[in-house]
Amino acid sequence: MDEQTTEINRSRQPLTVTLREFELTDVDDYFVWASDDRVSPWWRWDTFTNKEDVLTFMEETVLPHPWMRAICLDGRPVGAISVTRRTAEHQCRAELGYVIASQYWGRGITTEAVKLVLGTIFGDMEGLERLEALVLVQNVGSQKVLEKAGFTKEGILKKYLIHKGKISDMVMYSFIPSEN
Partner 1 sequence: MNDDLRTLVSYIIYCYSHNHRPNQFIIYQLSEMNHDEKHQKPKTPTITLRKFTLSDVDAFMSWAADPRVTRFQRRDPYSDPADALAYITTHILPHPWYRAICIDNTPVGSISVKPAPGEDRHRASIGYRLAYDYWGKGIATEALKLTIKAAFEELDHLERLEAIADVDNPASQRVLEKAGFKEEGILRKYVRLKGETRDMVMFSFLLSDAV
Instruction: Tell me the closest approach of the beta carbon of residue 85 to partner 1, in angstroms.
Output: 13
**Least spacing, CB of residue 157 vs partner 1, in Å:** 6
Shortest distance, position 43 Cβ to partner 1, whole Å? 15
Of 94, 45, 140, 16, give the one whose Cα is nearest residue 8.
16
Residue (91 or 102) nearer to partner 1, CB: 91
Q: Please report how close the Cβ of residue 33 comes to partner 1 at its closest, in angstroms.
A: 23
Q: Find the Cα–Cα–Cα–Cα dihedral 90, 84, 63, 21, rounded to 10°.
A: 120
- Sites of contact with partner 1 (CB under 8 A): 89-93, 129-130, 132, 152, 154-162, 167, 172, 174, 176, 178-179
- Planar angle of CA 170, 176, 177, nearest 5 degrees: 150
Closest CA to 130 of 69, 98, 84: 84
In the complex with partner 1, the residue whose CB is nearer, 14 or 66, is 66
Q: How far from the centroid of its chain's Cα atoms is residue 156's Cα? A: 20
Q: Which is nearer to partner 1, 142 or 174 (CB)?
A: 174
Looking at the Cβ atoms of 74 and 154, the one nearer to partner 1 is 154
